[in-house]
Amino acid sequence: MAIHMGIMCESCRKLYFVATSRAIKPSVSAAEMYRLKCTPPCPEVTEFRKDSMRPYRVSEDAFRSGYAKEGEYQFVEIPKPPQPP
Ligand SMILES: [Zn+2]
């Protein structure tokens, strides 16, 4: 298991990896944005900022295939830095 950056489809909860998925492409409408086009039968198309990607723990097989289904990935909590007083 390794940690990779991914973005989850809000509709079907499939997780796509930025580094390996062909479903993620740079947005044509805005710089700094990406477009996720989910795979059929899910019709979802979403645009997101690079900083909304999150780290997930997944198997290397899932990472190489470009996506992981619900239950195949585990969200990794990043501790927030301490806030200045
Ligand atoms: Zn979807």
Its pTM stands at 0.86
Looking at the predicted structure, is the pLDDT value of residue 83 above 90? no
* Ligand 1 geometric centre to CA of 83 (Å): 35
Q: In degrees, to the nearest 5, what angle opens at C-alpha 53 toward C-alphas 49 and 59?
A: 150
pLDDT at 45: 96
* Ligand 1 geometric centre to CA of 6 (Å): 13
* Ligand 1 geometric centre to CA of 82 (Å): 35
* Ligand 1 geometric centre to CA of 67 (Å): 11
CA dist 76 and 71 (Å) reads 14
pLDDT at 77: 87
For the chain, give every domain's residue range.
Answer: 2-75
Average pLDDT of the chain is 94
* Ligand 1 geometric centre to CA of 84 (Å): 39
